[in-house]
Every structure is written in structure tokens, then in C-alpha cells.
Amino acid sequence: MNIILLGPPGAGKGTQAQFLVEERGMVQLSTGDMLREAKSSGTEMGKRVAEVMDRGELVTDEIVIGLIREKLETVDAPGFIFDGFPRTLPQADALGELLKEMGRTLDKVIELKVDDEILVGRIVNRAKEAAAAGKPVRADDNEDSLRVRLGAYYKQTSPLVGYYWAKGQYQSTDGMAAMDDVRKGVAELLDS
């Protein structure tokens, strides 16, 4: 089963993806993680995207589609969880084509719905907790970048709701419930 976890920054996509990795042996493909890895290892591409990411804007479709293509061509898995990808309509089209080429299907698109005020609080907390634990704080986990990231979500990513709804693949669950209840909500949708 291949699924997309959709939702704004701070919705809990990464946390829920981790549960699915542990419980179902699926493989998480997070373009955010791939880009941060490229950034920290100082590759040419990492250097090119660093400023854009730090500002909270989206990097080009070409780059992220290339990253996903490479993973799909080299990693074998019983199922993929696309986390933070696709984020634009061209990315959604490209994912459809890539999966088709590989004889795979996209089974479900699950949106984690969370109100904006809660997102801001979660991101600010994430930064504080990382700092307190002596871990690196994401350069885009601050209020200015978050505003840009939310803007990008509503402008460029939220049209995917209609796109997948029209294909009969869209479902949503309450992402504001307790973490374990969100996990159950996602599981129910996957098993329905």
C-alpha cells in the first residue's frame, strides 16, 4: 500500500509516518528529510536549496521530483509513505506517472487536519524542545519562516485536496487529537 500523508507544517505527518514504519514495515519518504540531509552534507544541490528552505519557501518541483524518483528506483518496500511530497499539482502529476511506470498504485491520501494557532504553538515548542535537549534546531522552525511555510501550504499545496478528492483517494482525520488517537484514526482509514 502506498499512501500520502498530507497536512500543513506541524500537523504531525512525520510522527504518524514513524508509527506506520514501526507497525507496518512501510518506508517513509520525506522530501524535507532528504533536502536537510543534502543541506547538511553540503552537496551542490544542498547549497542551492539551503536559503530557500530556511526562508520557508518551496524548492523547485524538478529537484524534489528527482529525489523521489531516485528513491523509488533504488528502494524496495512493501509500501511507501510520502511525507511532505507532493506539495504542488505538478509534483502530484509526476508522482502519479512515477508510480504508474513502476506498476504501483497510490492507495490513499490522508490529510491530518490541524488549526493554524495550534500549528504555530507546536512548531515553537519543537524548536524549544530541540534546543533544551541540545539537538540542532531547524533553521525554518521560527515564526517568520513558519508564516511563509503556512502561506506556501495554503497557496500551493492545499489544491491537492480537491485533486485527490476528485480521484476518490482523499480522506482526512483530526490531527488535533492526542497522538495515539491520531494514530488510531489513521489506522482506521488505512484498514477501511
Name the residues that contact ligand AMP, by CB under 6 A.
9, 31-32, 35, 52-53, 56-59, 64, 84-85, 87, 91, 140, 149
Assess whether 138 carries a catalytic annotation: yes
Residue that the C-alpha cell 514504519 belongs to: 21
Shortest CB 148 distance to ligand AMP, Å: 8
Assess whether 69 carries a catalytic annotation: no
Assess whether 87 carries a catalytic annotation: yes
User: Which DSSP letter does residue 1 get?
Assistant: -
Q: Which amino acid is at 151?
A: G
Of 144 and 188, the one with the shorter C-beta distance to ligand AMP is: 144
**Active-site hit among 36, 39, 71, 149:** 149
Give residues with Cβ within 8 angstroms of 160, minimum separation 6: 6, 86, 87, 88, 89, 92, 109
CA distance 95 to 90: 9
Of 53 and 81, the one with the shorter C-beta distance to ligand AMP is: 53
Of 23 and 51, the one with the shorter C-beta distance to ligand AMP is: 51
Shortest CB 150 distance to ligand AMP, Å: 10
Of 28 and 31, the one with the shorter C-beta distance to ligand AMP is: 31
Shortest CB 156 distance to ligand AMP, Å: 8
**Active-site hit among 48, 126, 135, 155:** 126
SS3 labels along 141-165? CCHHHHHHHHHHHHHHHCHHHHHHH
Is cis: bond before 9, omega within 30 of 0? no
